[in-house]
Structure 1
Amino acid sequence: MNSSRGSDRYRPLFHFTSAKGWLNDPNGMVFYKGEYHLFFQLNPSGTEWGNMTWGQAISTDLVHWKQLPNAIEIDSFGHVFSGTAVVDWKNTSGFRTGAEDVIVAFYTAEGQMLNPKKPTTQCIAFSNDRGRTFVKYSGNPIIDQITVGNRDPKVFWHEPSKRWIMVLYVEEKRDENKVHTFKFFNSTDLKKWEQTGSIDGFYECPEFFELPKEGNEKDKKWVLLAADSGYLIGTFDGKSFTPESSKMLLDHGRSFYAAQTFNDIPASDGRRIIIGWMRGGKYPDMPFSQQMGFPSELTLGKRHGQICLIRKPVMEIELLRKESLFNDGFILKSGTNPFNGIIGDAFELKLKTVCSGSQGVSIGFHGQELVYQPANGTLSVCGNSVSVGKCNQLDIAVLIDRTSVEIFADDGAISMSECFIPDGSGKISLEPLQGDLTVSDCNLFRVG
């Protein structure tokens, strides 16, 4: 939810948007003293991409956000592109000046957007007041330009090696061919960095983290994720990543990009929480453009015997439930709609169906349609489809906002994120595709 929703017709009710201006990649996501910090790419001067600055919002519950003054702004090194933030608990950087632990932000200074152009470098800024203000390091840049296409530093503490780790996207040219790589670095003080490894085939906005397999804390794997939500699972020795899986997709929609996870969530919580940019949305005549996805939790589970990421909305969605509109199991007969007469902007739907007597199920909202067809095993929405396998049963969670839909199917193993322009009707429907449909469980909530 936004701290400033106003009466803007196309402003989402429970997805973060900037009060004004263009928004894209989430940046610097970090937790400190009860506050989730969400930094983000922001054009404070218009609703098109440009003038890249770090905007900032904070939340105590992941669903109610307060936007703060911009955190890091354009300077003589360049525009402020994507990056990450950490809490330097042991003050390895020496930046701490008071009682608060220092938050250190890493970002790409895009000098190519200046006139005249300058190198593209990696820089840091730090905060001694819980992220309210940032001071740029006088020794910037901390990593000089490797190639013009080097950006988006991901940084975290690696306890086994007692080192800070950075993963950086670097675009290389080899034999006249463009090669997309992630390069690995380590450091003891956040200021001096040494390259230790590299892997090809990943483009932009690296994310890298460790998760237990199926909840087993004694059996953990590392996940390397790129901007397009492609990821590999493997091992990491503090210097190099070794993949042990084929590449998979975290989200199969067109509106989930450059996702990042929070650093420094306490072990007592233990969750790996991710937010992506829901790119591609249209918001006619609004003072803002673009929105964030709803926060979701990542775990490592299995689908068809293969280890994969499982993604589900965070449990804090329950804080947004305004009204329970439907809670029942029933036989859905052809030509009927149990949601008839329900009007609204934002809903959470949890549905379990058995399609053996029908050709599938259709869920309508804001002039859009979500369709599951068991005969060919496809799930389709907003003109986009994904194969979920031929099965007569559907277990799905759907988050519907004014301008977006997020779908979590097969217990979170399949997800899709899409944006759209609503038709203004506010109608929602549930109908079988020919024949009767058994609905074993249906929960519909009004949220916002």
Structure 2
Amino acid sequence: MRKKSLIIMSLVLIVGIVSAVLINRYIVSKKYYTEEYRPQFHFSPEKNWMNDPNGMVYYEGEYHLFYQHNPHGTEWGPMYWGHAISKDMIEWEHRPIALEPDELGTIFSGSAVVDWNDTSGFFDGGHGLVAIFTHNGEGQKQSIAYSKDKGRTWEKYEGNPVIPSDPDIRDFRDPKVLWHDKTEKWVMALAAGKKIMFYGSDNLIDWEFLSEFGEGAGAQGGVWECPDLFELPIDGDPNNTKWVLQVDIGDGAIAGGSGAQYFIGEFDGTSFVSDDNPEDINWLDYGADFYAAQSFSDIPSEDGRRIMIAWMNNWLYANRIPTEEWRGAASFPRVIELKTSKKGDIKVFQKPIKELDTITKTELFKIENQVVKASDIPNILEDVEADVFQLTAEIVMEEPVNFGFKVRKSEEEGEETVIGYSHSEQELFVKRTQSDDDYFSPYFNGRHTVSIEDENIIKIHILVDKSSIEVFAQNGEFVITDLIFPSGKSKGLEFYVENGEVLINSLEIKSLQSIWKKGMFSIF
């Protein structure tokens, strides 16, 4: 009898435990990636802090995104490499932390490559992944680690660091490594103060100094960080190419605080020579929240794309944005191209990756060839509500006029973000404000602009998520990326015209579905 009672009690206990687990996991799954401000189609960590993308590499059918991560809190702290994997750069699988601090220091930013020919000797004549990163301890030095199992586990090189710290250079970090075909060697671009130092290697282990670039060039308002270096065809012609050196600056960017600039020129495997005058500045993005931009290594040649992701944040307020469980997100992946502008100069153009179409959900609004006047009432978008969507439009100005879109709008909450074109100023702008309830920084409110001169047709592609907006204008020649933090109730849209009329050649709004699946959790 006693044995039977014990069996019954045990069964009751097991049922209770399983029920509790199921209920807990149901609650967690219902909440998964649905917190206030949580991005729905941008990558963000499950919890805690994220900043710079690192080690972005494509290998055997998988895109690897590593990132600066503090697993112990929601503010910047001791840095690890977080890790996620994707088949399409849309849906991401969270992986365990890849690299942890050790006796040499914490794990700062860096890159990863496929060592196809086993130049390092780590892969027994095969191939695998090598990560190159900055150890931040007593000084900053460069180290490597390698993976033989497609990035699932990593072993640090026992001879680290491979480039020791330089006592004369305080900021000596963020190695970006690539294979240079013509000289058949590895090249590293390394941020050092307000310049880039280049190193070369035959085996990813032994490095020699090659040259440096940047003294007095471009934007010098803050320390240089997170360089990237790659060659691109001009206007799609593989026989006509230029090199792009992308460099971030920690302060003094176009919209205030941190931001990304680039140089176009020649690189012969040893030194970079810019085509620009030293005083010229090319901004990669004119918004406040596009920083530490990095492109994927080893995307197959048949794909032919150079794809970049950045950290959507700004060091002026990064530790204070009003999120709770997590802090930090990545920009939506962009294709980077070199094209000839209408003015005849060569510039970087950007556009969202085509895989965006796979999460396009519902057509919310569409019109063509419609004249809209300033006096028109009601607003043509009065009946449209959306908080996660893309908007594409082509607007013709037949007279000087100001016009634009108001998104994430609510009369009740007194909120809106404005994306507009001012003909009088000949500029595209994003104007954002923070609500009184969520005020967190004196640097956040503002109007971020880019000059678009002598145009009577404005082409625009806007991506709106729960807490961000990315604006691609004139086929991607100009881009503005900004964080926004509206109330969940703010879903209204408006198209406005001031003092005149415009012709809307086309306007289409489509909702985007979440990339984060509910019910992802198993019982055990």
Superposed pair shares fold, TM > 0.5: yes
Counterparts of 2:106 and 2:493 in 1: how far apart (Å)? 43
**SS, match of residue 231 in structure 1:** strand
Look up the match of 1:58.
85
Shift of 1:65: 1.1
Look up the match of 1:164.
186
Say which of 310, 332, 345 aligns to 2:372.
Answer: 332
Shift of 1:4: 8.6
Counterparts of 1:436 and 1:169 in 2: how far apart (Å)? 49
Deviations 1:150-209 (A, max 9, x none): 0000001011101000011112xxxxxxxx110011100000000111012471111000
Shift of 1:219: 0.9
Say which of 201, 219, 230 aligns to 2:261.
Answer: 230
Look up the match of 2:146.
126
Counterparts of 1:98 and 1:241 in 2: how far apart (Å)? 33
Counterparts of 1:197 and 1:309 in 2: how far apart (Å)? 25
Q: Which moved more, 1:434-443 or 1:289-298?
A: 434-443
Look up the match of 1:321.
360
Query: Could you tell me whether the CA contact under 8 Å between 1:338 and 1:429 is conserved in 2?
Result: yes
Say which of 510, 514, 523 aligns to 1:445.
Answer: 510
Deviations 1:324-375 (A, max 9, x none): 1122212223333222222222111110001225622121112211111122
**5+ long unaligned stretches in structure 2:** 1-29, 249-258, 409-415, 433-446, 514-524
Counterparts of 2:301 and 2:468 in 1: how far apart (Å)? 32
2:324 equivalent to 1:286? yes
Query: Could you tell me whether the CA contact under 8 Å between 1:331 and 1:437 is conserved in 2?
Result: yes
Look up the match of 2:407.
365
**SS, match of residue 108 in structure 2:** strand
2:63 equivalent to 1:36? yes
**Residue 98 to residue 447, structure 1, CA distance change in 2 (3 Å):** farther
Answer 1 or 2: which has greater helix percent: 2
**SS, match of residue 316 in structure 1:** helix
Give the counterpart letter for 1:332 in structure 2: V
Q: Which moved more, 1:399-408 or 1:366-375?
A: 366-375
**SS, match of residue 190 in structure 1:** coil
**SS, match of residue 242 in structure 1:** strand
Counterparts of 2:188 and 2:378 in 1: how far apart (Å)? 55
Counterparts of 1:352 and 1:400 in 2: how far apart (Å)? 18
Look up the match of 1:296.
334
**5+ long unaligned stretches in structure 1:** 112-117, 172-179
Look up the match of 1:356.
398
Counterparts of 2:243 and 2:425 in 1: how far apart (Å)? 33
Counterparts of 2:34 and 2:174 in 1: how far apart (Å)? 35
Q: Which moved more, 1:248-257 or 1:320-329?
A: 320-329
Shift of 1:392: 2.4
Say which of 193, 197, 201 aligns to 1:187.
Answer: 201
Look up the match of 1:416.
480
Counterparts of 1:284 and 1:169 in 2: how far apart (Å)? 31
Give the counterpart letter for 1:266 in structure 2: P
**Residue 6 to residue 223, structure 1, CA distance change in 2 (3 Å):** closer
Q: Which moved more, 1:338-347 or 1:155-164?
A: 338-347
Equivalent pairs, count: 431
Look up the match of 2:291.
257
Deviations 1:42-87 (A, max 9, x none): 1111111111110011111111111111110111111100000000
Look up the match of 2:210.
196
Identical-residue share of aligned pairs (%): 38
Say which of 246, 267, 282 aligns to 2:301.
Answer: 267
Give the counterpart letter for 2:347 in structure 1: C
**SS, match of residue 195 in structure 2:** strand
Query: Could you tell me whether the CA contact under 8 Å between 1:24 and 1:42 is conserved in 2?
Result: yes
**Residue 91 to residue 4, structure 1, CA distance change in 2 (3 Å):** farther
Query: Could you tell me whether the CA contact under 8 Å between 1:358 and 1:433 is conserved in 2?
Result: no
Q: Which moved more, 1:290-299 or 1:320-329?
A: 320-329
Counterparts of 1:285 and 1:60 in 2: how far apart (Å)? 28
Deviations 1:70-121 (A, max 9, x none): 110111111100000000000000111596x31000110000xxxxxx2321
2:157 equivalent to 1:137? yes
Q: TM-score, normalised by structure 2?
A: 0.80
Give the counterpart letter for 1:212 in structure 2: P
Query: Could you tell me whether the CA contact under 8 Å between 1:294 and 1:313 is conserved in 2?
Result: yes
Look up the match of 2:423.
374
Matches within 5 A, 1:395-410: 395-410=459-474
Q: TM-score, normalised by structure 1?
A: 0.93
Query: Could you tell me whether the CA contact under 8 Å between 2:389 and 2:512 is conserved in 1?
Result: yes
**SS, match of residue 229 in structure 1:** strand
Query: Could you tell me whether the CA contact under 8 Å between 1:374 and 1:390 is conserved in 2?
Result: no
RMSD: 1.7
Query: Could you tell me whether the CA contact under 8 Å between 1:83 and 1:107 is conserved in 2?
Result: yes
Query: Could you tell me whether the CA contact under 8 Å between 1:98 and 1:128 is conserved in 2?
Result: no
Answer 1 or 2: which has greater strand percent: 1
Give the counterpart letter for 2:492 in structure 1: K
Shift of 1:283: 4.8
**SS, match of residue 141 in structure 1:** coil
Look up the match of 2:135.
109
Give the counterpart letter for 2:157 in structure 1: Y
**SS, match of residue 343 in structure 1:** coil
Query: Could you tell me whether the CA contact under 8 Å between 1:223 and 1:231 is conserved in 2?
Result: yes
**SS, match of residue 292 in structure 1:** coil
Shift of 1:391: 2.4
Counterparts of 1:5 and 1:104 in 2: how far apart (Å)? 33
Counterparts of 2:60 and 2:373 in 1: how far apart (Å)? 52
Deviations 1:239-271 (A, max 9, x none): 001111243111111101110000000001010
